[in-house]
Structure formats: C-alpha cells, structure tokens
C-alpha cells in the first residue's frame, strides 16, 4: 500500500499489519487518458488505491510535459493496488478491455500519440498468462484485431499531484471512458 493509504488507515483507527499489506497486489494498465481509466477503476470493489503515472519508456522520472512531447516513450498508465480476496486480476483485466477501444493503435478517442497506447504491464508470469488469455477472450468481441501490448512491467513513475484523483478534485462526474458490454 502507498504511504498515504497506510496513513489513512492508521488515522481511521484501522490497524494495517505487514501481513495485511502483503496480501495486496498490483496491476498496471495503459488505456488512453489516465484520468478516465482511473475513474473507472476507483469504483471497483477491492481496488484499494490508484495512482496515475507513466511507464514503458526510456526517460527517468518524466514529467507530463515530457511525456506529451512524445519523446520519452512512456504511456499514460494507472497503477492499481487491489485486494485479490475481493477482486481478481482476471476481473481487472476484463474491466480494462471493456474500458477502452483496444483496437486503435496509439490513440483513444481524440487523444493521439504513443503515450495513449493500450498496454498491460505484467509483473509475474501469472499476470502475463492471464493477460494473454483474457486478450484472446476479448478479441471475440471486436471485429478489428486488438493491438494491446502485453509487456513486462518496469518502473512506474507517479504523475504530478494535480493529476491524481483529477476528476474528483475537479468535480467531474462524467468520464471520457465507459464500460462496454
């Protein structure tokens, strides 16, 4: 769990033991604008924390401006900390493929560029296998080929504070992302 989640639990009088913390798992997805993706996953029971940021590129600790310049190679992504006792990685993958159009290369809606690519960043062999399996299942629902990358996860760089919980901070109720059937 991230530090502020731990502080919240402590301030709320909830003891978070090291054992409880170790039960949490991480998923990292890129599906276009990270604000909309974050807003969808924040609504999922079992998602403990979300962080928007950048991953999959060559620049160390990039800024939003640098990522938008398209020179860093990073994707706008979301890191999800979740409780596998409440939501499985497969369920998160199902939501991921429903939350964006995985058949468009380097774009989502009006957002165009490699930073808006569709990608699953895996951290274990089990995550890779699950991503490949769910991608094959999702392909049956799309006429065009899915272009989502399934790649080994690397360093995840949190975006600047003003990007975190953006819709909530701005009072935005309607997301640019929605769940397809």
Distance separating alpha carbons of residues 25 and 4, to the nearest angstrom: 17
Q: What is the pLDDT of residues 117-160, one digit of tens each?
A: 999 999 999 999 999 999 999 999 999 999 999 999 999 999 98
Whether the per-residue pLDDT at 53 is higher than 60: the answer is yes
Q: Would 11 be classed as within a structural domain?
A: no
Q: What is the pLDDT of residues 74-104, one digit of tens each?
A: 999 999 999 999 999 999 999 999 999 999 9
Q: Would 9 be classed as within a structural domain?
A: no
Q: Would 97 be classed as within a structural domain?
A: yes
Whether the per-residue pLDDT at 17 is higher than 50: the answer is no
87 DSSP 8-state letter: S
Q: Output the domain CATH number for residue 77.
A: 3.30.1060.10
Q: Would 10 be classed as within a structural domain?
A: no
**Which of 24, 28, 33, 37 does the annotation list as catalytic?**
33
Distance separating alpha carbons of residues 31 and 157, to the nearest angstrom: 16
Catalytic residue at 33?
Answer: yes
């Amino acid at each position: 769990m991230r530090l502020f989640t731990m502080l919240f639990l402590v301030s709320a009088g909830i003891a978070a033991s090291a054992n409880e913390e170790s039960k949490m798992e991480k998923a990292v997805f890129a599906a276009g604008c990270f604000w909309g993706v974050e807003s969808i996953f924040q609504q999922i029971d079992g998602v403990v924390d979300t962080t928007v940021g950048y991953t999959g590129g060559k620049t160390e600790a990039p800024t939003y401006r640098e990522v938008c310049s398209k020179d860093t190679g990073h994707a706008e992504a979301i890191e999800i900390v979740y409780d596998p006792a409440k939501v499985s990685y497969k369920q998160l993958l199902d939501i991921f493929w429903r939350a964006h159009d995985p058949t468009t290369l380097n774009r989502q809606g009006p957002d165009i560029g490699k930073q808006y690519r569709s990608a699953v960043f895996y951290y274990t062999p089990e995550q890779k296998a699950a991503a490949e399996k769910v991608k094959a299942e999702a392909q049956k629902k799309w006429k065009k080929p899915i272009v989502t990358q399934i790649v080994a996860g690397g360093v995840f760089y949190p975006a600047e504070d003003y990007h975190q919980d953006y819709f909530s901070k701005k009072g935005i109720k309607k997301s640019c992302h929605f769940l397809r059937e």
